[in-house]
């Protein structure tokens, strides 16, 4: 049985994951409208993954005798200015999600809820991957600068990151 403050903290993370899905969906739509097919595919997949992260938490809370709450979400931004800015925002958001996961892990340790602590280790590892991927993407974008040919190749290559991740079952 979940303690009330652990349940509340998990419900907070459910909202964070749902909000992340919405943010990446908005980013994907923006990229698609700009003709950035690879970037949009990458972000649509990323949005789906965040929703799956949310559902995993929902099921966990309910299985442990709590009640997972689906809350209202804030409307995400719809204009990201440039693909460079979009990925900078994505990276900053992943850092924020990592901080939220760390705060949640801290609550489980304070409450000596080792089952939930163990469950959350998947999220801790996932966030390490998410941040590393976002940082790698930013490094590539910095190499490109404002080169249109570089953008074309980046858009093509990021589509491959999404396809490779789907094929291997890994997270993008």
Kindly list the structural domains of the chain, giving each domain's residue range(s) and its CATH number in brackets, ordered by start: 4-167 (1.20.1260.10)
Section 67-85 average pLDDT: 96
Q: How far apart are CA 78 and CA 2, in angstroms?
A: 37
53 known ligand binder: yes
170 known ligand binder: no
121 known ligand binder: no
List the one residue out of 127, 108, 110, 128 whose CA is nearest residue 118. 108
Task: List pLDDT tens digits, range 127-144.
Answer: 999 999 999 999 999 988
Task: List pLDDT tens digits, range 15-71.
Answer: 999 999 999 999 999 999 999 999 999 999 999 999 999 999 999 999 999 999 999
38, 41, 47, 51: CA torsion to nearest 10: -150
How many other CB atoms are found less than 10 A from the CB of residue 156? Answer: 11
127 known ligand binder: yes
Q: How far apart are CA 45 and CA 82, in angstroms?
A: 20
How many other CB atoms are found less than 10 A from the CB of residue 55? Answer: 15
């Amino acid at each position: 049985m979940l303690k009330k403050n652990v349940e509340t903290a998990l419900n907070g993370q459910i909202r964070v994951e749902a909000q992340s899905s919405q943010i990446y969906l908005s980013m994907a739509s923006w990229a698609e409208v700009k003709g950035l097919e690879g970037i949009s595919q990458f972000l649509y997949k990323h949005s789906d993954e965040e929703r799956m992260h949310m559902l995993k938490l929902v099921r966990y809370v309910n299985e442990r005798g709590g009640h997972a709450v689906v809350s209202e979400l804030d409307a995400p931004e719809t204009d990201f200015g440039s693909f460079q800015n979009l990925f900078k925002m994505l990276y900053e958001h992943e850092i924020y999600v990592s901080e939220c996961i760390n705060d949640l892990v801290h609550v489980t340790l304070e409450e000596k809820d080792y089952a939930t602590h163990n469950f959350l280790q998947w999220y801790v590892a996932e966030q390490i991957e998410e941040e590393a991927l976002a940082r790698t993407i930013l490094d590539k974008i910095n190499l490109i600068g404002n080169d249109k040919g570089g953008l074309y190749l980046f858009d093509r290559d990021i589509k491959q990151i999404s396809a490779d991740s789907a094929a291997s079952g890994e997270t993008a």
